[in-house]
Amino acid sequence: MREEKSYVIGTHDAEIERLGVQHRVWRASVLDLWRQGGVTVGQTVLDIGAGPGHATLDLAQIVGRDGKVIALERSRRFLAALSAFAEARGLANIAAVEADLLEYEWPHAVADRAWCRWVLAFINDPAKVLRGVARALKPGGKLILQEYYDYASWHLAPRAPAFEAYVAKIIAKWRASGGESDVGLALPRLLPEAGFAIESVRPVVFAARMNDFNASWPMGFAREYLPVMERDGDISAAEGKEIAALLDRYQADPDALVITPGVLQIIATKL
C-alpha cells in the first residue's frame, strides 16, 4: 500500500470528524456563497482539496443527477471516507480523484465552477494551483474560495494572552511546513495573475458564546491540536496542560466568547 499523504493538521479519524463539525458550522454561510457564485443544477464542479468531502456531498446534491462533482484530494484516507459517505447517501455523481494539486495534470475547460476552502493556506505554491484551476474552468466559469486572511485575529474574550501565544505558535508551525495561514491577503494579486477577475470579496468573522454550536469549531480545534503541537515539540507538555486548563475555564464561563479567525470568501471569474 502506498504511503498516506498527510499534512500539517493530519488525516486521522478524529480529524475527519472535526472537519465535519467545521463544515456544519460554516454550512449556512457557504450555501449562501455558492448561491451567490451561481452553483446550480447540472453543473460540473471541482472541489479542490476536498478533504473527506463534507462540502463535496452538499455540492453533489445541488448539481443533481445531471451534474457532477470532481473531488481532488491527496490523502487516500480522506478519499476513502468520501467514497464511503457518498455511497451511504446514494450519490453516484462524485468522481473522487487522488491528486497532488502541485503535480496534477489539470484538464482543459471541463468545469463550470470550482470550490476551494482552506487548502491554499497549506500549499507552498498557491499561484501554481490557481493557474491549474484557471485551465480546468470553462471561460466565464467561477472559482469560489474561502481562506484565512488574519489567523491571529482568533481571540478569546476576555483576552487571554496565553491563548494568543498558542495561536502564534500554530501559525509558525503552518509556515514552517511551507504554507501561509493568511494566504487570503495574497489572493487579490494571485487571482488576476492566474487569469481571474475578482467579482466579490466578503470578510467573515463571528463571535460565539461557549454553548453556541459555532463555538464548537474553534474551541474543538484549539483542544484537538494540542497533542499534535506537543508531539511535534511546538509546545511543551507543561504549556499543553496550561492551555487545556485555560480552555476548560473559558468553556465553563457563561460570559466568555470566542472570536473566530478572519476568513475571506472570494468569487472570481475565469476570463
Ligand X SMILES: C[S@@+](CC[C@H](N)C(=O)[O-])C[C@H]1O[C@@H](n2cnc3c(N)ncnc32)[C@H](O)[C@@H]1O
**What residues line the site for ligand X (CB under 6 A)?**
7, 9, 19, 23, 49-51, 54-55, 73-75, 78, 100-102, 117-119, 122-123
- In sequence order, what are the beta bridge partners of 146? 117, 265
CB of 121 to ligand X, least distance (A): 8
CB of 145 to ligand X, least distance (A): 10
CB of 100 to ligand X, least distance (A): 4
| CA distances, 47 to each of 50, 92, 124, 178, 221 (Å) | 5, 16, 19, 22, 23
CB-nearer residue toward ligand X: 55 or 256: 55
Distance CA 117, CA 120 (A): 8
CB-nearer residue toward ligand X: 7 or 250: 7
CB-nearer residue toward ligand X: 123 or 160: 123
Distance CA 137, CA 8 (A): 29
Strand 94-98 with 68-73, pairing:
parallel
CB of 103 to ligand X, least distance (A): 8
CB-nearer residue toward ligand X: 62 or 256: 62
CB-nearer residue toward ligand X: 210 or 219: 219
Is residue 230 a contact partner of residue 173, using CB atoms and an 8 Å limit? no
Q: Which residue has the cell 451567490?
A: 36
What interhelical angle do 54-63 and 76-88 show, nearest 10? 40
**Three-state secondary-structure class, residue 78:** helix
CB-nearer residue toward ligand X: 216 or 250: 216
| CA 219 to centroid of chain Cα atoms | 16
CB of 25 to ligand X, least distance (A): 11
CB of 98 to ligand X, least distance (A): 9
Residue type, 248: D
CB-nearer residue toward ligand X: 71 or 160: 71
Residue least distant from ligand X (Cβ): 51
Burial per residue of 233-252, b for 16 or more beta-carbon CB atoms within 10 angstroms, e otherwise: ebbeeebbeebeebbeebbe
Q: What share of the chain is helix, strand, coil (3-state, %, to 5)?
A: 45, 25, 30
CB of 86 to ligand X, least distance (A): 15
